Amino acid sequence: MLDVVGRAEETVAGIRLELRRVGHGRPLLLLHSEEALECEPPLLDLLAADREVIIPSPPGFGGSERPDWVSAPDDIAYVYLELLDRLKLASIDVLGCSLGGWIALEMATKEPAVFSRMTLVAPYGAKFLGPAERDIADIWMLPPADVIKRKWFDPKKGERDYKAMPEDKLSIIARNNESFARFCWEPYMHNPKLKHRLARVSAETLFIWGEDDGIVTPAYGRTFAEHVPGASFAMIAEAGHYPHIEQPAEFMRHLRDFLA
């Protein structure tokens, strides 16, 4: 049962998952980033204006349980496929951001018919360069200030006042960071097999990238799009790793044109 703020729980594969549903209209699955920035206004309000937005929290994120056997986005993909079966959501549109985009691609290579259209915002997940070449910036080795500069065109948008946050929100942020590191530390930010499975994707796919993304560059994004059959690529100026947060109006224009 949904509560007054649109939250529910679903037990899938023995895991209690936090699930949120907001808005009305054709369903849109939102697979959020590791920072879950997409789950707050103003972006969520824009998405829910004409869609029912369905937002599961991955195992270990938000209020979702994290069993020991879930150790990678590949595992999360199977959990989410079972969740969509449980919710009777077939051939749904999906918006996957960063880590969420990686999970969406894992799902689409396992069950190509699961999505009708995929919008992927700066996803991780594949390695295209050689073993000694870095595809993705090492966010755990770089100084925090450098990471913020790489993530944001305007670094001030990446600042968070942790001292002003309530304890429960700080706990969730810490838990999200810990789960993100657990799932993506080794191999670093990719599944070595995913690149070889991308030809199985059958959904219409749009990659959206921030022109100033210093975590995964636009060149990485274009290479990603080239490996997905029929995929298109759009770039947003004056935006870093989160173009949908820094330039929501321009992002929504691309999204609505694609989903129309």
**Per-residue 3-state assignment (H helix, E strand, C coil) for 60-81:** CCCCCCCCCCCCCHHHHHHHHH
3-state SS class at 119:
strand
The pLDDT of residue 4 is above 60: no
For residues 206 and 198, give the distance between their C-alpha atoms in angstroms, rounded to a whole number: 14
For residues 9 and 64, give the distance between their C-alpha atoms in angstroms, rounded to a whole number: 9
- Supply the mean pLDDT for the chain: 95
The pLDDT of residue 242 is above 80: yes
Q: Are 96 and 118 in contact (CB under 8 A)?
A: yes
Query: Side by side, which strands form the sheet with 15-22?
Result: 7-12, 15-22, 51-56, 26-31, 92-97, 115-121, 204-210, 232-236
3-state SS class at 24:
coil
Could you please report the per-residue DSSP string of 172-195?
Answer: HHHHHHHHHHHHHTTTTTB-TTHH
pLDDT of residue 8: 84
For residues 210 and 239, give the distance between their C-alpha atoms in angstroms, rounded to a whole number: 5
Look at the block and give the residue holding tokens 């049962």.
1
Average the pLDDT over 166-179 and give the result: 96
The pLDDT of residue 3 is above 50: no
- CB count in 10 Å sphere of residue 168: 7
Q: Are 246 and 157 in contact (CB under 8 A)?
A: yes
pLDDT tens profile 91-147: 999 999 999 999 999 999 999 999 999 999 999 999 999 998 999 999 999 999 999
The pLDDT of residue 169 is above 60: yes
Strand partners of residue 90: none
For the chain, first and last CA: distance in Å?
31
The pLDDT of residue 219 is above 80: yes
Q: How confident is the model at residue 160 (pLDDT cuts 50, 70, 90)?
A: confident
- Sorted by where each begins, the domain ranges of the chain are 7-259
Whether the full predicted model's pTM is greater than 0.85, yes or no, is yes
Q: Are 73 and 183 in contact (CB under 8 A)?
A: yes
**CATH class of the 7-259 domain in this structure:** alpha beta
The encoded tokens of residue 126 equal 């594949």
Torsion sign (Cα): 116, 97, 127, 190: negative
Strand partners of residue 12: 15
pLDDT tens profile 5-30: 467 899 999 999 999 999 999 999 99
pLDDT of residue 5: 45
pLDDT tens profile 39-81: 999 999 999 999 999 999 999 999 999 999 999 999 999 999 9
Q: At what angle do helices 73-87 and 167-184 cross, to 10 degrees?
A: 120
For residues 165 and 79, give the distance between their C-alpha atoms in angstroms, rounded to a whole number: 31
The encoded tokens of residue 162 equal 């942790």
- CB count in 10 Å sphere of residue 129: 11
Pick the closest to residue 251 from 160, 120, 151 (CA basis): 120
